[in-house]
Structure 1
Amino acid sequence: MANLPPQILRVSKYCMVVAGTWRLSLASRHEVLQKIYSLYSACARAYFPIMLTSMCLQTVREKSTKSTEEMFRILSYIILLFIVQIASLMCQTGKFQKVLVRVASEERSILNSCDWNLLRFHSRRAQFCRTFNLNILFSTSGAVVCIILENWFLRRSIDRHNVLYNESQDKPFAIGLYSHSLDRERHATLLVAINDLCLCMNTFAVVSTKIVFISCMIFAPSMLKKLQIEFSKLNHRDSDVVSCLKMLVVDHQEVVGFVETMNGSVKYLILLEYLLNSLNFAVVSLQFISFETKLLPSPILFFYTLLVQTFVLGWSANEIQVQSLAIADALYESLWYEYTERAKKMLLIMMMRAQKPLALTIGPFDAMKTGSALAIMKASYSYVTVMIDG
């Protein structure tokens, strides 16, 4: 399953490989390369919680010396990394690995199909998925580059200020890692390099966890569309309509099982996104309106990334519901009135099952849909109001 089709999961796979979270085979003929990657993956998985703990310790250590603006910026970044850490653990579970394998095999089946409508439908979704993935990758990478450059210019500015006024102001680091055994002035170059390297590693960890779940969600309607086309093509002149219907029932149950398995893998991640993205929006928005400083590009790109991800998440979940309900319409559009009584009864039962939409839920609560993205924005507005009034 390593040779994934160059459609839905290609960008996700490359980002997960760099982040060290890809658990399937790399499709390499060299076992040595696979062992090297396994070692790298183990180091990457150990690095992330250590880095996050280091950030939290340094934040607590310097909270009295940080300005309100800096504390809000650090808080938003720690919240993002916390979500990424949870998502990274979720995407490495055996349950989600089965989802990735199923997506790869089903996409091969769709690409080998001779049905033009299905290929066109999937091609549009694959193109949208690639655009979304690259959008998140470039905007996140752009935000990280801006953070590195902003920190570099700020440190140079403090250097000039210290020389001009004979002072010794502390120079901040990009993400602020705990460095008890290293002097911040004597080892400044090393600490800056470590900070920048961590930011680059975090970029792929953030991007991979953001896009792999949504990529699978974007693909699910293609499976449902394939099922709709197969139902609509069912001909009453087939030698055994009942046998064909039985096969389609099995296919429908497999699609239902796929969506339910995916929901079991991502529902608590969606809950975290729903709760913490509101706070992230509020923290970034507060940087725009509460501080008398020049507007920097990094929070703008961060806000843009959050906005795109939130609405695509809601739209993708909503599309699964829409396409699952459309199966009943496809059954009705078939030549059901010319079927045998047994086939009609089977068709009726399938239509009744299709009336219950497939959905991805926000944890154990309501289904995720487009309106949920709007609810996140409304909640963030409430948070901003409370922060300003407080």
Structure 2
Amino acid sequence: MVKVWIPFLDPEKHYIVANLYYSFMTTVLGIIEIALDCMILYPIVYFIFRINMLKYVLQNPEEFVEDKRMQSKEYKFHELMVKCISEHQSIIRTIQDFNNMMKHYLLFDFSLHALQISGVFFFIAKNMLNSNNFLNYVYALSLLIQLFILYWYGQKLLDENESISNAIYMSKWYCEDIKSQRLILLLMQRSQKPLGLMIGPIGIVQLEKFLMILKTVYTIFTVYSNM
């Protein structure tokens, strides 16, 4: 059992109050941590939604070309492609603005989770025969799942942006005029550049970085064990 400081009370004499206080503080900290993760997760879901909407338009342009008598089909398709490029650029700018605000926080979150998970596994390793270790295993597993969900959505954001080219390829782009095809090519080229949330100077939020955290945890755990 981890010792907790309780103001004005002796935990040895007031065991029930001490456990209630410990449970309350753990719940509060857990809620704060979940809220902070949601603060990052919700924007990622929003970006994925906007990219999926853009992909649907690119894959089914005939559904979004308005029937205007005074305009040719080529002109209407070209106008739609201009709007799609503008939307994609808007998504890119929004993600860049978000990165400028949150990249340092994501770097702090990356480092904190590595230290936190390694500390839990170190505590488990030092108390293998402790009957309370089951709760420590549950806590460690919850940290890994929580972290995996965040980085999985980061990977999905990368994949969705790269799959814009596939959505365009599945449309009848070859039936359009040369001018529109050049716009399509421009959009395809831009979608191949990685687009995601930045972890400071480390890189983009993706499953590769989740594995990097696990490697960092193993390194920190090894250092702790040799101390």
Residue in 2 that maps onto 1:319: 156
Residue in 2 that maps onto 1:223: 50
Question: Where do 5+ consecutive residues of structure 2 fail to align?
Answer: 66-72
CA 1:204 to 1:286, structure 2 compared with 1: closer, same or farther past 3 Å?
A: same
TM-score by length of 1: 0.50
Q: Does residue 338 of structure 1 match 2:175?
A: yes
Residue in 2 that maps onto 1:17: none
Residue in 2 that maps onto 1:241: 77
Which of 252, 255, 258 lines up with 2:91 in the alignment?
255
1:197 and 1:338 mapped to 2: Cα distance?
64
Q: Is the 8 A contact 1:328 1:351 kept in 2?
A: yes
Which of 26, 43, 48 lines up with 1:199 in the alignment?
26
Q: Is the 8 A contact 2:120 2:140 kept in 1?
A: yes
Residue in 2 that maps onto 1:232: 59
Residue in 2 that maps onto 1:23: none
For 2:213, the aligned partner's letter is I
1:382 and 1:328 mapped to 2: Cα distance?
39
2:61 counterpart SS class: coil
Question: Where do 5+ consecutive residues of structure 1 fail to align?
Answer: 1-68, 71-171
TM-score by length of 2: 0.81
Q: Is the 8 A contact 2:124 2:133 kept in 1?
A: no
1:367 counterpart SS class: coil
Which of 200, 206, 213 lines up with 1:369 in the alignment?
206
Deviation of 1:295 (Å): 3.4
Q: Deviation string for 1:210-232 (max 9, x for gaps)?
A: 23322332342222111111011
**Aligned-residue RMSD, C-alpha:** 2.8
Deviation of 1:376 (Å): 0.9
For 2:45, the aligned partner's letter is I
Residue in 1 that maps onto 2:103: 267
1:184 and 1:223 mapped to 2: Cα distance?
55
1:312 and 1:380 mapped to 2: Cα distance?
18
CA 1:196 to 1:314, structure 2 compared with 1: closer, same or farther past 3 Å?
A: closer
Residue in 2 that maps onto 1:360: 197
Q: Does residue 278 of structure 1 match 2:104?
A: no
1:300 and 1:203 mapped to 2: Cα distance?
16
Q: Is the 8 A contact 1:217 1:320 kept in 2?
A: yes
1:240 counterpart SS class: helix
Residue in 2 that maps onto 1:184: 10
2:42 and 2:90 mapped to 1: Cα distance?
19
Q: Does residue 211 of structure 1 match 2:52?
A: no
1:183 and 1:371 mapped to 2: Cα distance?
47
Q: Is the 8 A contact 1:184 1:191 kept in 2?
A: no
Q: Deviation string for 1:55-83 (max 9, x for gaps)?
A: xxxxxxxxxxxxxx84xxxxxxxxxxxxx
1:194 and 1:280 mapped to 2: Cα distance?
22
Which of 310, 313, 328 lines up with 2:147 in the alignment?
310
Q: Is the 8 A contact 1:288 1:295 kept in 2?
A: no
Determine which structure has greater relative contact order: mean sequence separation of CA pairs < 8 Å that are 6+ residues apart, divided by chain length: 2
For 2:56, the aligned partner's letter is I
1:296 and 1:231 mapped to 2: Cα distance?
53
CA 1:240 to 1:212, structure 2 compared with 1: closer, same or farther past 3 Å?
A: same
2:208 and 2:29 mapped to 1: Cα distance?
30
Moved more, 189-198 or 239-248: 189-198
1:370 and 1:307 mapped to 2: Cα distance?
12
Moved more, 278-287 or 239-248: 239-248
Q: Is the 8 A contact 1:324 1:354 kept in 2?
A: yes
2:139 and 2:97 mapped to 1: Cα distance?
31
CA 1:263 to 1:230, structure 2 compared with 1: closer, same or farther past 3 Å?
A: same
Q: Does residue 388 of structure 1 match 2:217?
A: no
Moved more, 197-206 or 308-317: 197-206
% identity of equivalent residues: 18
CA 1:378 to 1:365, structure 2 compared with 1: closer, same or farther past 3 Å?
A: closer
